[in-house]
């Protein structure tokens, strides 16, 4: 079993639940007139296979096949006397598939149908049924109890208070329609307010009932009212009849776009209900795991630069490097992002950098293991550029792969080797990359590492020991002007500036209005460091959809997708992508300190074409 409780895990990072169970059982040939809960007894391999598919897809939580396994529902199949056996079997199969890393939620559905009345006289019978199922699930090894798809709020509260005696965390999930109302007409605001007051409930949720977009609209109303972690599990849209078959038509990509939005809005968990499959969860898991904190970061206390600083000559920004001097003078800068290679051969990368140098580009950005990929060390690549060419490298440096001692050593070593320009980022978690089982270190996030580097610039290391003479590192950071939770993003940006950041480069921006609104917000807060706009020239519709659905922190508006969709040829797609990028640059040129243009698929000529007239 996982070491920390599901509630503690959600406090540190969002989790991904699995998808539909009933949909998958039906897809494997079990007819709907059968008791799906009994399948755990009569065909355990089928249930085991479904659980395994969700674990392989990257789910952090899988649910037992016990949604209808209460004595009252099982009575209709003549299985009431096997209630405990079915629940224990369902829990054991999920536990086996989950292992020690994945949580198991004991699924408990309502005893009442949505059209039945909740009458006080039945309270005792219902409570006994919930407790019987919960105790059997606990004996089978579940980590917490999930009360799901409830339409009667009173029944949900009764269930929560009843099963809490088992001693496991309780999640209470209810169902609303597209208007945000239960089938009995209660608003989501009313329901959340009541459930928040129930001490036996630790986690709230909404599942089933509707697809991702309508549920997101309800989530926007519900989340500000919740004092507890919230989980959202929409259906894969509304079922439609196609050639005599009932199908759910929401694609994994569309589902994932909303999974990201739920988390960015503040949800601590996302998953799928009816119609969702392992394909939906696989895509969602890759995206969501890139959005959450991997673990609690080491807290780096502010270094008191005033102590013993009178004899330390801190290097002014304008004297650190040519790029810094240009920023300090308020002149527009130009950079091109070029990936280091996946092999040890650097000649191809150096040729591309040379083209940028000849074109008069100020600097080249060298990413550090983007999307958790293994490439030639960005520091070695930057050093080779500096040795062989005039153009200045901007070394991306992420916190994922090294502990704090190693990072401080790299900062000192890089400075000794002549590197001056560091763009400090937290880094993508390993789960989204090619090596999902690799452990991320993440001793600090970008805020903490900027503070460390700024200490070195003031002649002090992380232990307060003197560094004489001090370093002169130019400290850049990343920022996302299109973040859903813009207040949180601005708060972190302010912390980065307080820690010592001297300029920022944005995530690739495809919505100039969003960037301008972000800059307006910064001006009201008097946040005054140069901001370089990230620009990505799209090359195809597929590229646009990948950026929208797969790259953390990037938002591609619908109108951009449509412009790329109507492109008929590869060449037309490239021309349109460059045109979009240039239009955006022209729109924001007078508000930013310059542009960082990515070279899609290594095509530096496209980046240079975008920068023409802006260098």
More confident residue, 244 or 327: 327
> Can you give the pTM of this predicted structure?
0.62
Virtual torsion, Cα 180, 183, 186, 188, nearest 10 deg: -30
Complete DSSP assignment for 447-474: HHHHHHHHHHHTTB-TTS-B-SSPP--E
Q: Characterize 523-547 residue by residue with b for buried, 16 or more Cβ atoms within 10 angstroms of its Cβ, and e for exposed.
A: eeeebebbbbbbbbbbbbbebbbeb
**Residues facing 365 on adjacent strands:** 337, 394
C-alpha torsion angle, residues 430, 433, 434, 437 (rounded to 10): 30
Six-digit token string for 76:
């209709």
Mean pLDDT, range 317-329, rounded to an integer: 97
456 within 8 A of 408, measured Cβ to Cβ? yes
Backbone angles phi and psi of 288, in degrees to 5: -70, -40
Confidence of residue 309 (pLDDT cuts 50, 70, 90): very low
pLDDT band at 308 (very low <50, low <70, confident <90, very high): very low
Contact (CB, 8 A) for 232 and 219: yes
pLDDT of residue 371: 67
Weakest mean pLDDT among 93-102, 410-419, 446-455, 460-469? 460-469
The 3-class secondary structure across 502-531, one letter per residue, is CEEEEEECCCHHHHHHHHHHHHHCCCCCCE
* Mean pLDDT in residue range 298-302: 56
- Residues paired with residue 145 on neighbouring β-strands, in sequence order: 106, 170
Give me the percent of the chain exceeding a pLDDT of 90: 73
Helix H or strand E segment including 570: helix 570-588
Q: What is the pLDDT at residue 434? A: 64
Tell me the longest C-alpha to C-alpha distance in the chain: 86
| Tens digit of each residue's pLDDT (9 = 90 or more) over 408-451 | 999 999 999 999 999 999 887 665 556 666 667 778 889 999 99
What the block records as the tokens of 41 is 């007894």
pLDDT bucket at 239, cuts 50 / 70 / 90: low
**Confidence band for 310, pLDDT divided at 50, 70 and 90:** very low
CA–CA separation, 555 vs 186, rounded Å? 34
Q: Which CATH number fits domain 6-289: 3.90.480.10, 3.30.43.10, 1.10.1760.20, 3.20.20.330?
A: 3.20.20.330
Q: What is the mean pLDDT of the chain?
A: 90
The confidence score (pLDDT) of residue 552 equals: 62
Task: Select 317-611's CATH number: 3.30.565.10, 2.40.50.140, 3.20.20.220, 3.40.50.1980.
Answer: 3.20.20.220
Give residue-wise pLDDT tens across range 121-161: 889 999 999 999 999 999 999 999 999 999 999 999 999 99
Domain ranges of the chain: 6-289, 317-611
| Contacts with 520 (C-beta within 8 Å, 6 or more apart), sequence order | none
pLDDT at 247: 58
Does position 244 have pLDDT exceeding 60, yes or no?
no
Rounded average pLDDT over 29-51? 93
pLDDT in tens, 498-554: 999 999 999 999 999 999 999 999 988 877 899 999 999 999 999 998 887 766 667
- Going from the C-alpha of 311 to that of each of 232, 307, 589, 592, the distances in angstroms are 57, 10, 41, 36
Give the tokens for residue 431. Answer: 């789960």
Q: Is the pLDDT of residue 292 over 60?
A: no
Give the model confidence (pLDDT) of 469-507 as tens digits. 999 999 999 999 988 778 888 989 999 999 999 999 999
Lowest mean pLDDT across 195-199, 286-290, 395-399? 286-290
In what helix (H) or strand (E) does residue 103 lie, and over which residues does it extend? strand 103-108
* Fold match between domain 6-289 and domain 317-611: yes
Residue 293 has pLDDT above 50, yes or no: no
């Amino acid at each position: 079993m996982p070491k920390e409780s599901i509630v503690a895990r959600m406090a540190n990072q969002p989790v991904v639940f699995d998808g539909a169970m009933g949909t998958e059982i039906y897809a494997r040939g079990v007819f709907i007139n059968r008791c799906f809960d009994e399948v755990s007894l009569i065909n355990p391999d089928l249930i085991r296979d479904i659980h395994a598919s969700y674990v392989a897809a990257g789910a952090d939580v899988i649910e037992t096949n016990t949604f209808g396994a209460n004595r009252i529902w099982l009575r209709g199949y003549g299985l009431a006397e096997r209630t405990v056996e079915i629940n224990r079997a369902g829990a054991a199969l999920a536990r086996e598939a989950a292992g020690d890393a994945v949580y198991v939620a004991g699924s408990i559905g309502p005893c009442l149908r949505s059209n039945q009345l909740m009458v006080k006289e039945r309270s005792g019978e219902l409570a006994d049924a919930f407790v019987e199922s919960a105790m059997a699930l606990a004996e089978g090894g579940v980590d917490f109890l999930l009360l799901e798809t409830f339409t009667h709020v009173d029944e949900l509260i009764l269930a929560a208070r009843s099963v809490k005696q088992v001693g496991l965390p309780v999640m209470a999930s209810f169902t609303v329609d597209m208007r945000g109302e239960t089938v009995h007409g209660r608003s989501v605001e009313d329901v959340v307010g009541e459930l928040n007051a129930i001490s036996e409930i630790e986690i709230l949720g909404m599942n089933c009932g509707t697809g991702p977009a309508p549920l997101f609209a309800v989530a926007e109303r519900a989340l500000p009212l919740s004092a507890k972690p919230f989980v959202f599990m929409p259906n894969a849209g509304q079922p439609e009849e196609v050639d005599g078959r009932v199908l759910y038509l929401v694609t994994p990509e569309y589902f994932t776009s909303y999974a990201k939005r739920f988390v960015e809005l503040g949800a601590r968990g996302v998953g799928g209900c009816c119609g969702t499959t392992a394909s939906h969860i696989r895509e969602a898991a890759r995206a969501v795991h890139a959005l959450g904190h991997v673990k609690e970061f080491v807290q780096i206390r502010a270094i008191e630069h005033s102590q013993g600083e009178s004899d330390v000559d801190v290097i002014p920004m304008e004297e650190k490097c040519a790029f810094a001097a240009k920023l300090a003078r308020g002149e527009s800068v130009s950079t091109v992002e070029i990936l280091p290679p996946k092999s040890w051969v650097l000649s191809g990368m150096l040729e591309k950098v040379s083209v940028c140098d000849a074109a008069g580009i100020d600097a080249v950005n060298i990413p550090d293991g983007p999307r958790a990929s293994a490439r030639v060390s960005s520091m070695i690549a930057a050093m080779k550029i500096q040795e062989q060419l005039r153009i200045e490298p901007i070394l991306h440096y992420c916190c994922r792969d090294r502990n704090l001692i190693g990072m401080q050593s790299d900062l000192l070593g890089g400075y000794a080797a002549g590197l001056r320009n560091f763009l400090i980022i937290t880094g993508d978690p390993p789960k989204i990359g090619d090596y999902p089982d690799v452990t991320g270190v993440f001793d600090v996030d970008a805020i903490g590492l900027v503070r460390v580097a700024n200490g070195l610039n003031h002649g002090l290391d992380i232990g307060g020991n003197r560094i004489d003479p001090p370093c002169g590192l130019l400290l850049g950071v990343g920022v996302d002007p299109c973040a859903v939770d813009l207040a949180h993003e601005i708060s972190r940006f302010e912390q980065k500036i307080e820690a010592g950041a001297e300029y920022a480069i944005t995530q690739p921006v495809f919505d100039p209005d969003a960037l301008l609104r972000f800059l307006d917000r910064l001006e009201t807060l008097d946040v005054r460091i140069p901001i370089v706009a990230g620009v990505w020239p799209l090359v195809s519709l597929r590229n646009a959809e990948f950026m929208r659905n797969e790259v953390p922190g990037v938002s591609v508006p619908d109108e951009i997708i449509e412009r790329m969709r109507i492109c008929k040829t590869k060449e037309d797609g490239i021309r349109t992508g460059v045109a979009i990028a240039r239009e955006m640059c022209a729109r924001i040129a007078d508000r930013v300190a310059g542009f960082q243009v990515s070279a899609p698929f290594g095509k530096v000529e496209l980046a240079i074409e975008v920068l023409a007239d802006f260098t």
